[in-house]
Amino acid sequence: MDPRIDILGLSFADLEGKVATLLPGGRGLAGKVYARAFEYGRLDLEGLGLSERNRRSWEEHFRVGLLGAGRRESEEGDFGPTEKAVLILEDGAEIECVLIPMPVRQKSGSSRRAEGRPRSTLCVSSQAGCSMGCAFCETGRGGLRRNLRAAEIVSQLITTRTLFGWDPANIVYMGMGEPLDNIEGLLGSLAVLTDARGSAFSWERLTVCTCGKAEGLAALREAAGTRLNLSLSLNAGDDATRNRIMPINRSTDLGCLTAALRDWPRRRNFVLALNWCLLPGINDRPEDAREAAAFARSVGRTVFNLIPYNPGRKPIAPAPTEEEIDRFEALLVGEGCLVKRRARKGGRIMAACGQLGGPGAAGVASGTAMAEGETARVAGAANETAVAAGAASGAAGATDAAGPLTGTEIGNL
């Protein structure tokens, strides 16, 4: 392992502190070195007027840790290609991240492929593998290898930008692993990504997706304040079904989750995203929609991300048909829920929700990805459809807790 300090794991204040200790003469350059590390993905000391000795000192203590590039796959879709990159960590472990294209919203409310470079969301991994064991997920099948360090999470952005030219507008922690099971890496990476001297993402452009670790939620609540977006993989509105498909529910049941989420600090336009992977025969009955809606009501303003199941190597259900998706969407809407239906993208390259860590393009049949580009409907506004072209996981842009969403607000989601 390279013993040098990886700048991608440091906030600017942290770098300044390290430089003050290790390179007292280099403090004046810390800002430039930091900005260049994030812009160019390397320790760029050119043109800084450094003597050979001082340059060697920087290089002796610091580095910019790009990840190794493994397989890269792409699947064309309505809003541009969904791309998946397999990246290789220093110890040889492989992780995956996905660039998901998003539609561009037009004044008319319709969507089209972006001219030039489309807006996109980068889905990053927080762990190599995962210990949560969700029944519908390829990543969980392989178990946990290890947590990613903050620098390794941030480096997914910098590596893919440097090597492939990816330039996402949003980042969602929804790749391999449970981010709240790696709270140190998660909080460290959030601090770096939002540092104005470096990659300067606004908190509203970041979304953490969790299967529901209550203690992790408490830590995140303390650190992130009100601007971060949050999304919960719900998938069942009753404990018996959720216990079956998401083992985390046996220790943190729906009652615990309700209590944890009720306390979640809310900005005025906060909307909690509830992900529902539609598993025919498991969570698509009218009572499932009823219970899902009851949970949603118990935690404040929410939006359902309805994600058709992507059967992997060991399917627990068939992929839902369009009719089955229509029917469950209508059930949720009938219960008064706001629903965003997710487009089928990335399934052929195993880049869709629940497929990371799988066998790659050679793997499995068609599926879906967590991509923007779907209609949103809400009860009481049945004729009102709008393009879901908002921030990462769709949790940004609505209004505060009371009252129905207006058409404009729906359009902003």
Q: Give the amino acid at 377.
A: R
- Quick one: 210 or 412, whose CB is closer to ligand SF4? 210
Whole-number minimum distance, CB 277 to ligand SF4, in Å?
Answer: 8
How far, CA to CA in Å, does 122 sit from each of 40, 170, 324, 393, 397?
A: 18, 6, 29, 10, 19
**Active-site residue, selected from the candidate residues 353, 372, 374, 409:** 353
**Active-site residue, selected from the candidate residues 96, 291, 335, 374:** 96
- Quick one: 247 or 334, whose CB is closer to ligand SF4? 247
Q: Confirm whether 337 is a catalytic residue.
A: no
Measured CA to CA, the distance from residue 251 to residue 150 in angstroms comes to: 27
How far, CA to CA in Å, does 28 sit from each of 17, 34, 55, 99, 166?
A: 12, 11, 14, 36, 31
Whole-number minimum distance, CB 355 to ligand SF4, in Å?
Answer: 10
Residue 96 φ/ψ, nearest 5 degrees: -130, 145
Hey, which bits of 50-200 come out as E strands?
62-63, 68-75, 82-88, 94-101, 104-105, 111-112, 120-124, 127-129, 144-147, 170-173
Whole-number minimum distance, CB 207 to ligand SF4, in Å?
Answer: 14
- Quick one: 33 or 282, whose CB is closer to ligand SF4? 282
Q: Confirm whether 115 is a catalytic residue.
A: no
CA atoms within 13 A on the CB side of 301: 24
Q: Which of 359, 175, 396 is nearest to 271 (CA)?
A: 396
- Mapped onto helix, strand or coil, the DSSP state of residue 401 is coil
Measured CA to CA, the distance from residue 183 to residue 180 in angstroms comes to: 5
Chain position whose Cβ is nearest to ligand SF4: 140
Whole-number minimum distance, CB 27 to ligand SF4, in Å?
Answer: 41
- Quick one: 67 or 135, whose CB is closer to ligand SF4? 135
- Quick one: 73 or 138, whose CB is closer to ligand SF4? 138
- Mapped onto helix, strand or coil, the DSSP state of residue 70 is strand
Whole-number minimum distance, CB 295 to ligand SF4, in Å?
Answer: 18
- Quick one: 224 or 277, whose CB is closer to ligand SF4? 277
Measured CA to CA, the distance from residue 230 to residue 226 in angstroms comes to: 10
Instruction: Give the residues lining the site for ligand SF4 (CB under 6 A).
Output: 130, 132-134, 137, 139-140, 176-178, 211, 233, 354
Measured CA to CA, the distance from residue 156 to residue 172 in angstroms comes to: 12
- Mapped onto helix, strand or coil, the DSSP state of residue 261 is helix
Whole-number minimum distance, CB 103 to ligand SF4, in Å?
Answer: 25
Q: Which residues are catalytic?
A: 96, 353
